[in-house]
Amino acid sequence: MIIKRLTLYNFGIYAGENTFSFKGEKPVVLIGGLNGRGKTTFLSAILLSLYGEGSIAYRESGYKSYGQYLRSYVNNDCWNRQSYVEMVFVVTGPDSAEYLVRREWDALGKRTKEQVTVEKNGVKDDFLTENWSMFVESILPGALAGFYFFDGEKIADMAVDSTSPQLKESIRAMLGITVLDVLKNDLFRIMKKVRKKTVGTRSAQELEELRGAKDAAEKALAETDEKIRTVYDRIVEKKAEIEEAYHRYDAQGGTALEKRDEINRRKAELQAEYARNEEKLLVAAASVLPMALISDLIGEIKLTAQDEHNEYVLQQAVAQIEDLLDQFIDENHAAAEGGREFFQFLKEKAEGTGDQSVYGLSDQALFQVGDIFETQLSSVVKSAGDSLSKKKELKGKLAETDSLLQLDINEKKLEEIREAIRGLEDERVKLEVELRTLQNDRSSLNAAVITKTAEFSRYVEGYLRETELTDDSDRTMKYTNLAVQIIDRYTMALQERKTGLLAQTVTYCYKQLANKVNLIDRVEINSETLEISYYDSNDREVEKTSLSAGEKQLVVVSILWALAICSQKKLPVIIDTPLSRLDSLHRESLITTYFPQASEQTIILSTDSEIGKAEYELMKNNVGDEFTLYYDEGEKSTKIKKGYFEEAAV
């Protein structure tokens, strides 16, 4: 498994989107940063991406809920209060593939819930998304994560803690014993269930009593069902009687009587509308409407007056031209004759037929005649036609209202029918109340029938298989106990066989790293308790309390290295603050021996005091990618630069 990319969005001290892209071909990835710059946050993001709620970091965080843990990582300065982590990694081997796992959440509401998305080879995989926790356990079991992803400062105490649950759990996971533990727990649950099964003595008399109770409940239910059918039929009959009474009420004019006031109001509205329509016709008659009778004559007048007006205009123009011509002749004697001839032509045209003007209309009078003929007459004729049609319609409606108001209605008879309807309605309501009560009773009775029937059936089944059940329980307890004993013996045999190999591997790894070979000559692991002991070359046990802080850290690194080797899983190793407690000789050993061989990909999170210039020179030939985390005061967040500290690009 090789991590290709890790993206953090508004995650912890990382504001906005920050991406670590691992492209180097050498095994070591070096990430530098001062304390508080986000190295531990990087490790937490890896664990969260893979394991979510099952992350070691979450279990050790002290938060009461997973939602609170997620909210704690939402960057406080981000405006949208949203966050996500996204990791891309490649699984090598026969079934090699590239996986992307993304977890996103927000802190907007009171509850925080993450959304998980998984892609395989660039395509979203719904099955993996739904079953990611199961899938990741097959790649890197959570119990083993502790010796692949670890904090160098925290692990040192494991070397002297003989009861360290994390270390023992890691050893058990590597040995495969945790699977046997699950099997034992399942067997214990089976035994507990069998013990709870108490087989009492059942008698035929009790069976008959239960049968009688069941039959009584069924009889009561049947009687209630019959009552419900009877009441329902009566309700149907009552509704038919009410409907028939309403028909009689309508036939006697009840509806018309109830609507008399409404009809009177309608009549008044129609009369008012009729009067308004009459007024509209009178206004039209007082205006230009009568002229519609002589519309042809008005058209002829308009045409004649138009011609007269044109002749008048021409005559006025000729008079003006004559004055201008006299002036022109006085000034230009040569053109006099031609001008006189042209003027004579104009004068003849202006005199026209010589008929006397009939109307002699002014410009305004001529415009009014044209407007009456072309616009007002057609409009007023159409309006008068609409008014006459409306008048006819209103007359018809008034006649209808008058006919309704003139009906001879027997109000006393109608009151008797109304009283009968009220009585029938009261009876219907009472029947419906009775029906609802019976239906509620039926629900209770039906539940009683179900309970009594189930109780009777269970008793019958128990009565028939009582003897067989006793035999089955005894047989189950016998073979379950035997299976537990076999698992215990197998677990011990497995631990004896594999702890020896693990102890040898730890010893080998320690000697590869330690400069004081004679301090610890060999490591032993108790096959029963899984406690680790250290012995010198004289076969004397080395007291754990005599180990320095650096030696403790070196021992635990040796144990974790050996666990990784024995697990035979090709997984990345991530070490946070790896050299904080080591002297210069131990540092050099760890840098030159452990880091290059720990895994195909070893990610080291370090300060500049742990891995300074000298340490960097020792390991740079094995470094494929290197980054520096620096704090941006302006944005109040950590940013990523390529290169390690002084080598980082500015």
- Determine how β-strand 28-33 pairs with β-strand 623-632: parallel
pLDDT, position 199: 47
Residue ranges of the domains in the chain? 1-140+573-650, 255-409
Closest CA to 174 of 498, 550, 632: 498
For residue 87, the model assigns a pLDDT of 95
CA distances (Å), 17 to each of 87, 262, 314, 585, 637, in order?
A: 13, 75, 91, 39, 11
For residue 159, pLDDT beyond 60: no
Which residues, listed in sequence order, are joined to residue 603 by a DSSP beta bridge?
Answer: 29, 574
pLDDT at position 650 is 41
Beta 602-606 vs 28-33: how paired, if at all?
A: parallel
**For residue range 197-219, what is the model confidence (pLDDT) as tens digits?**
544 555 667 767 887 888 888 88
Distance CA 580, CA 560 (A): 17
Which of 217-231, 449-463, 540-554 reaches the highest mean pLDDT? 217-231
| pLDDT at 43 exceeding the cut of 60 | yes
- The pLDDT of residue 420 is above 60: yes
Give the best-scoring range by mean pLDDT among 190-194, 215-219, 401-405, 489-493: 215-219
- Summary mean pLDDT of the chain: 78
- For residue 287, is pLDDT > 80? no
Out of 3.20.20.70, 3.40.50.1970, 3.40.50.720, 3.40.50.300, the CATH code matching 1-140+573-650 is 3.40.50.300
Decide: 525 and 502 in contact? Cβ < 8 Å. yes
Half-sphere exposure of residue 77, counting CA atoms within 13 Å on the CB side?
A: 12
> Which residue matches tokens 């969260």?
48
* Residue 470 or residue 311, greater confidence: 311
545-to-378, 410, 570, 624 alpha-carbon distances in Å? 121, 117, 34, 38
| Tokens describing residue 51 | 């394991």
pLDDT greater than 80 at residue 296? no
- DSSP for 457-479, please give it: HHHHHHHHHHHHHHHHHHHHHHH
Tens digit of each residue's pLDDT (9 = 90 or more) over 325-336 = 677 777 666 555
The least confident of 8-12, 170-174, 256-260 is 256-260
Six-digit token string for 73: 């990582």
At residue 372 the predicted structure's pLDDT band, cuts being 50, 70 and 90, is low
User: H or E stretch including 69?
Assistant: helix 66-72
pLDDT at 649: 45
What integer pLDDT is reported at residue 242 of this predicted model? 87
Ranked by mean pLDDT, the top range of 176-185, 304-313, 635-644 is 635-644
Record the pTM.
0.52
Q: What is the mean pLDDT of residues 645-649?
A: 61
Least confident of 256-270, 465-479, 487-501: 465-479
What's the alpha-carbon Rg for the chain, to the nearest Å? 54
One-character DSSP codes across 524-538: EE-TTT--EEEE-TT
Q: Regarding predicted confidence, which is higher, 464 or 53? A: 53
pLDDT at residue 163, rounded to an integer: 47
**HSE (CB half, 13 Å, CA atoms) of 613?**
1
Q: Which residues of 348-361 are buried (b: 16+ CB within 10 A; e: fewer)?
A: eebeeeeeeeebeb
Report pLDDT for 81. Answer: 87
Tens of pLDDT along 63-116? 889 999 999 999 888 878 899 999 999 987 777 899 999 999 998 888 888 999
